[in-house]
Structure 1
Amino acid sequence: MQRNPPAGPSGSRWVLLALLVASICINYVDRGNLSVAAATPAFRADLNIDSRDLGVLFSAFFFTYAACQILAGWLIDRYNVYHIITAGFALWSAATVMMGFAGSFLALLVWRLALGAGEAVAYPAYSKILAANYVEHQRGLANSLIDAGSRTGPAVGVLAGGLIAARYGWRMIFILIGLAGLLWLIPWLWQTARLRPPAAITSKAHALNEPGLLDILKLRQAWGTFIGLFCLNYSWYFILSWLPTYLTTERRYSTRMMAWYGSLPFWAVAATSILAGWTSDRLIRRGATPTRVRLACLGGGLSLNTLMIPAYLIDDQVLSMALMTVACLSLGVASSNLWAVSQTLAGPGAAGKWTGLQNAFGNIAGIVSPYLAGWLVARTGSFFMVFVVASAVALSGALSYWFVVRRVEPVSWRTP
């Protein structure tokens, strides 16, 4: 049987959590830099690429990101999770910088693949750390803070990247932001040198008593979370990849307008994620069941994401952006509770592997969504069908959590 995590996180745990939040913010700034660069006319002219090529570049990140998830989860459950994060962070930051020097489509493709491999360690590592150090009624806030960091990253990236591009050109987006991100390693290495990592599986006997990948894959609940994450990610990665281009092409925003107004939905989803995570924990502490609270947030948030369709159809710029912001913040309501569900179901001993599998499946959406969006835009000449497909997929995710996962309670692992 798994031991319960400590009832109250110490000051050092909150410092560690703050560093994790900062790391995921940087993670999403770096993966989203391409969407900001692509919104500038000089980018396409310099590299001679069209919408289909751009869809390939957006999707390429997720080939390695998804493929490396299972390996990352296995490594994190077996070795020092802090060391794994350090190596992954260094790799993805270096890849970000090198994209600024890319002189061709192929070079940019290679560095996007390297970026995906480095960033693959993040979520399995976070789940390992949070499942081991936070009890049920603390995980909503802890996960929502990390989720808010992932939503703040695109907001910072669109704003800072757009302003950098307007002044210095698209290449400096990657170079300046990539070098600045490396500074995070200094407090991270200092802090983790003083901490004992969550227990790793260090012996064959211990490993035999932990659930394996096949044990997880046999579970209905696991597949419900896999499908749910795929559906949420489909919409999120479309927004992350294509929103700046949509604003500059169909809505005719300038690069500066795109930087300011395009960042608003991401700020909104970050704030909403924190509020939803705090509220869900508060409700659970007062006696509400995790099943009712977590699944209400996930299903309701994914359902409201369909507001993207009226946001597209309305001509008024202000009202359209307001609806788009609400559609995006609904994803914050959903995602604030997403990993708390998985961590509760898996328990500390299987959190890394479960999250690795879930992220591997869920991030196939990152391959499909940006590429399909580029293909649809090239085929139809507009974003309308892209918004329709994303909304339908989001609704499917709500159904998966309501009718496939159904209950949020620890799995009883039958191990030798």
Structure 2
Amino acid sequence: MLFSLAMINYIDRVTLSFAAAPIAREFGLSPVTLGYLFSSFLWTYTIFLIPVGMLVDRFGAKRVAGFGLALWSAATAATGIAWSFPSLLATRLLMGAGEATSNPAGARVVREWIPASERGVTNAIFNSGSYAGPAICALAAGPIMAALGWPALFFTAGGIGLVWLLCWVTWFARPEDAAWLGEQERQKILSERGARKADFDTSAPKTGLLGLLRKGPTLWGLALTQGCNVYCQYLFLTWLPSYLQNEKGLAFAKTGFYAAVPYAIAVALCIIVGRISDRLLKGDTGGGRRRNMIAFAMLLAAIILFAPLVDSVWVILGLIAISLTGVASTTSLNFALLNDLIRKPQDVGVAMGFLVVGGNVFGLMAPIVTGYVVAETGHFDRAFMIAGLLLVVGATSILTLTRRALGETSDASALAPQHAATSA
């Protein structure tokens, strides 16, 4: 369910990118205007993340995720009947507000359902949906638009979300309440999602966002790392089709296939990296050792710095696939590290909201900055250089700023190796 939630979320995000050419022609949009339109859903998405995180902590994942998906699916479908730039902008803003529910609710589900030793691969599966979505949309967008026009792409994407919502309302429950869950597995989940009873004592008082931020630079460091990573992600997410068409001369009909290849590779490799992280840690999640893997993944993603030196389309796609694998792995491992370091499950929603806000403050700038770069230079070289340098900054941030746990009085001791088994 989490994989498909992220997949639908990102299908709805990238529909505009794949429909950009006919929409730009119909409404007379320049690269700069397109950049603002690509970025617009992130404005409301970012504004609502922390309030939505608070709602998840208060009302639970099921209701908040269900409401959010209904809202963003309706907004996506409404994009198909837009008649002007302002109406396009309005539907994207509404979609962004609904999509703000996805990551905070997903983080709470992972914390409630997944033993600590399996969080790496679970977050990788959840996050890989955000790369499967663009891959599927890349393959389907061209035929749908060729047969039925660009509005049909948005109607289809919105309809898929409503099918997911029916499944979510029917089957999802907390492990304590899920009637379909075997008792042996239920007890394993309840006993291993937090090694200490206090780690999952939902009656304990919340630390709260301000309390978490006062615990040192850890949450700030996680958010900065997420920001540097998400900038690169949204550069690809919004501009990759246009880059392949305008810079590499690919025909519109071929763009979808070529754009799908690096995303499909990233889906598989991201899950493999998540599994490797769990096996290397061997359940020792308390020391924050996952940060070393995050730094490696970000430096791997920074290979995009070499893109301006390459002319071959297939080599470029290889570099993008490697970079997307690093970006995808960073996101899933960063989410897992947050859950490793945070003590109280009732703080997860708001902490995840803050982390994703940090990511999207950078992410919302990527389409706009890239639009100006392309308008000024006529090329994407400088855009790739900016993204690569930010990835190096993010690797430095995760290694230096995330050394303390979140939500305990004695944070420094909480990360000592002898206490590793007590963290969740």
1:72/1:356 contact within 8 Å kept? yes
CA distance in 2, matches of 1:412, 1:136: 18
Q: Which amino acid aligns with 1:172?
A: A
Contact 1:237–1:369, Cα closer than 8 Å, also in 2: yes
Deviation at 1:230, TM superposition (A): 0.4
> Residue 235 of structure 1 aligns with which residue?
232
Distance in 1, Cα, partners of 2:401 & 2:406? 15
The offset of 1:128, in angstroms, is 1.2
* Corresponding letter in the other structure for 1:272: L
Displacement of 1:169: 2.4
Of 113, 131, 138, the match for 1:158 = 138
| TM-aligned CA deviation for residue 393 of structure 1 | 0.7
Deviations 1:314-345 (A, max 9, x none): 11222222222112212233223110111121
Could you list the per-position Cα deviations for residues 367-406 of structure 1 after superposition, in whole angstroms to 9, with x for gaps in the alignment? 2111111011111111111001011111111111011113
RMSD: 2.1
Distance 1:289 1:413, change over 3 A: closer
Q: Where do residues 106-117 of structure 1 align in structure 2 (5 Å cutoff)?
A: 106-117=86-97
Given the superposition, is the C-alpha separation of residues 247 and 58 from structure 1 closer, same or farther in structure 2, using an over 3 Å criterion? Answer: same
Cα distance in 2 between the residues matched to 1:157 and 1:290: 39
The answer to whether the aligner puts 1:313 opposite 2:309 as a matched pair is: yes
Question: Paired residues, what number?
Answer: 386
Equivalent of residue 80 in structure 1, options 38, 60, 65: 60
Question: Does 1:366 find its partner at 2:363?
Answer: yes
Helix, strand or coil at the partner of 1:253: coil
Unpaired runs of at least 5, structure 2 = 179-189, 191-201, 412-424
**Percentage of pairs with the same residue:** 32
Q: Secondary structure at the match of 2:346?
A: coil
Deviations, residues 335-363 of structure 1 (Å, cap 9, x unaligned): 23110111121231211110011112221
SS of the residue corresponding to residue 288 of structure 2 reads helix
TM-score, with structure 1 as normaliser:
0.88
Q: Is the 8 A contact 1:211 1:413 kept in 2?
A: no
For 1:181 and 1:127, locate their aligned partners in 2 and report how far apart those are by CA, in whole Å: 20
Q: Which amino acid aligns with 1:96?
A: T
2: distance between equivalents of 1:410 and 1:49?
46
Partner of 2:340: 344
Corresponding residue for residue 26 of structure 2: 46
- How far apart in 2 are the matches of 1:368 and 1:288? 33
Amino acid at match of 1:133: W
2:256 paired with 1:276? no
Matches within 5 A, 1:8-407: 19-38=1-20, 40=21, 42-192=22-172, 196=177, 209-218=205-214, 219-285=216-282, 291-292=288-289, 294-347=290-343, 348-406=345-403
Amino acid at match of 2:334: L
Letter paired with 1:401: I
Q: Is the 8 A contact 1:273 1:335 kept in 2?
A: no
- In structure 1, runs of 5+ residues without a counterpart are 1-18, 199-205
Distance 1:75 1:411 in 2: 19
Which residue is equivalent to 2:414? none
Q: Which moved more, 1:224-233 or 1:360-369?
A: 360-369
Tell me the TM-score normalized by structure 2: 0.86
8 A Cα contact 1:164 1:173, kept in partner: yes
On the 8 A contact 2:117/2:285 being kept in 1, the answer is no
Contact 1:269–1:332 at 8 Å: present in 2 too?
yes
Q: Is the 8 A contact 1:276 1:332 kept in 2?
A: no
CA contact (8 A) 1:344 1:410 kept: no
- C-alpha distance in 1 between matches for 2:157 and 2:280: 39
In structure 1, distance between residues paired with 2:114 and 2:356 = 21
Kindly state the Cα deviation for residue 366 of structure 1 after the two structures are TM-superposed. 2.3
Alpha-carbon deviation of 1:274? 0.5
Letter in 1 for 2:7: C
CA distance 1:404–1:80, shift in 2 (3 Å): closer
